[in-house]
Structure 1
Amino acid sequence: MDIETLFRLDGKTALITGGATGIGRMAAEVLVRAGARVLLASRNGEACEAVATELNALGARGSAEGFAGDVGSEEGVDALVAEVHARCDQLNILMNNAGATWGAPLGHFPFLAWDKVMGVNVAGLFDLTQKLLPLLRAGATADDPARVVNVGSVMGEREMGDGAYSYSASKAAVIHLSKILAKELASDAITVNALAPGPFVSRMTAFATQDETTRAAVGKDVPLGRVGREEDIGGCMLFLCGRGGAYVTGAVIPVSGGINVMSGPNIFERALP
């Protein structure tokens, strides 16, 4: 076993949706540092171009390219697929990270919040994946499968609404869909796994992670005592996308600091001395 190359991604091409900010940005940097050519897409094409410029300035082994891409509609998915086809003839890694959320209290949660959130988080993710299958198959071998990494959430694992009902339900769907696709695509040498993150610094969680004081307060409610860091995402991506993850499919990695195993207080707590 060559430890030096276990997590190297030289010669690999990756697409990350929602790649300009948050978890997508974290993943993009580690993949570039590992040697991959990383395509970054989001609705804000200028932001993706700016991030690509930053990553290319690192002097790392890989490179980055940024452009606009919207998975919130069928037309947007088709345009993104066409753009990826124009840039490469095979794809080794697809990270479905683009996401939407909506918050409102129970009793006031609007119907349209379901259409928007499920459209991006589930329908867009699925449609993009199936339309990129020819490129993923072209980049896959039995010894080195193509990799799909879907970004779910710990809120899709645990009974947590927190006013984001459609978001939580959509992430539960992402996790289940990842397992279905893992089963169906294994014969094509394509692995499908999911991340189930807890709180990380991102545009979506800015209300709770925007400054050090707020992050520390949020971290107190996480069993491991902090919010997630860049290396927490980076380590998962290097494992799943590198040689070490070649024999793993259908897994859900709980990058949530232990929130995934929180089950409430000890039922005998009041009886204990």
Structure 2
Amino acid sequence: MNMLDPLFSLTGKIALVTGGGRGIGAMIARGLVGRGVRTYITGRDPGQIDAFAQELAGPGGECIGLAAELSDQSGPGKLAEQLAEREERLHILVNNAGANAAGSLAAMTVEDWDLVMNVNVRAAFFLTQQLLPQLRAAANDDDPARVINVGSIGGLHIPNWEAHAYNTSKAAIHHLTRSLCKALGRDRVTVNAIAPGPFPSGLTDTSSDAVKNSIATHVPLGRPGTAEDAEGAVVFLASRAGAYVNGTTIPLDGGYIAAL
């Protein structure tokens, strides 16, 4: 890995990746740790998240696991307190933790709807709010602090299957990205989002025949996303190279949305 180009260097920065123990969050966290970022990752299971943090750290890397239940009303505040006990500054906040509720319009329950909205939207907003002192402390004119929200192409179009709560929550996180961009720009904090298409995760089995057929039919590049694709997008947004990008949602989908 070439660490010499200052445009893309992240060495010495501090990051928090929610839901960093699996899926796209783990891909992002692994990439940040490998680029010299002291990276905090969160998960509901303390043992699992600590073990994965130790795995990511390896020789020369820094990764710390923090237990967090972001579906709870008090979850973002408790997580912010944990981080504040350890760090005065936070350069990169990745709001990645997500929940899903499958089922038809008729089968959706209030509890399922609220779980998805609470994790995917409410937690991202209030965690950003609670960590503003650390984000502001890390920011300067040339190198703002970064908030990177993980949305979905499901928030950019209506797919052929029913995922009402999930897709609505991701459309909301894209809009929240623009709203926070306007509110925080003067504080030298940028807010952007990525909208992944098919990536291997707990929500998407890219090895299944159905997903393979969908990718072959709808994704111009003809393949699912990889860890390097997720890492590359976040490194761009978090580094000096992306310092003037603000309030945008980047489809990370191999051309899926463009080809609709």
TM-score normalized with structure 2 length: 0.94
Distance 1:56 1:119, change over 3 A: same
Residues 102-251 of structure 1 correspond to what in structure 2 (within 5 A)?
102-160=101-159, 162-205=161-204, 208-209=205-206, 211=207, 216-221=212-217, 222-251=219-248
Which range moved further: 191-200 or 219-228?
A: 219-228
Q: CA deviation at 1:223?
A: 2.5
Residue 40 of structure 1 is matched in structure 2 by: 41
Q: CA deviation at 1:120?
A: 0.8
1:259 aligns with 2:260: no
Q: CA deviation at 1:11?
A: 1.3
Amino-acid identity (%) = 44
Q: CA deviation at 1:213?
A: 5.6
Q: CA deviation at 1:245?
A: 0.7
| Aligned mates of 1:179, 1:84 — CA distance in 2 | 25
1:30 aligns with 2:36: no
| Aligned mates of 1:124, 1:152 — CA distance in 2 | 13
Quick one: which amino acid aligns to residue 220 of structure 1? A
Q: CA deviation at 1:262?
A: 3.4
Q: CA deviation at 1:204?
A: 2.0
Quick one: which amino acid aligns to residue 189 of structure 2? I
Q: Deviations over 1:220-260 (max 9, x none)?
A: 13222111100110100110001101111111110011121
| Aligned mates of 1:7, 1:70 — CA distance in 2 | 32
Residue 14 of structure 1 is matched in structure 2 by: 15
Q: SS in structure 2 opposite 1:155? A: helix
Which range moved further: 166-175 or 72-81?
A: 72-81
Residue 270 of structure 1 is matched in structure 2 by: none
Q: Which runs of 5+ in 2 are unaligned?
A: none
Q: SS in structure 1 opposite 2:229? A: helix
| Aligned mates of 1:162, 1:216 — CA distance in 2 | 16
| Aligned mates of 2:173, 2:183 — CA distance in 1 | 15
Q: CA deviation at 1:84?
A: 0.5
Quick one: which amino acid aligns to residue 235 of structure 1? G
| Aligned mates of 1:189, 1:112 — CA distance in 2 | 37
Q: Aligned-pair RMSD on alpha carbons? A: 1.7
Quick one: which amino acid aligns to residue 48 of structure 1? I
Count of matched residue pairs:
257
Q: Which runs of 5+ in 1 are unaligned?
A: 264-273
| Aligned mates of 2:166, 2:254 — CA distance in 1 | 20
Q: CA deviation at 1:3?
A: 6.1
Q: SS in structure 1 opposite 2:221? A: coil
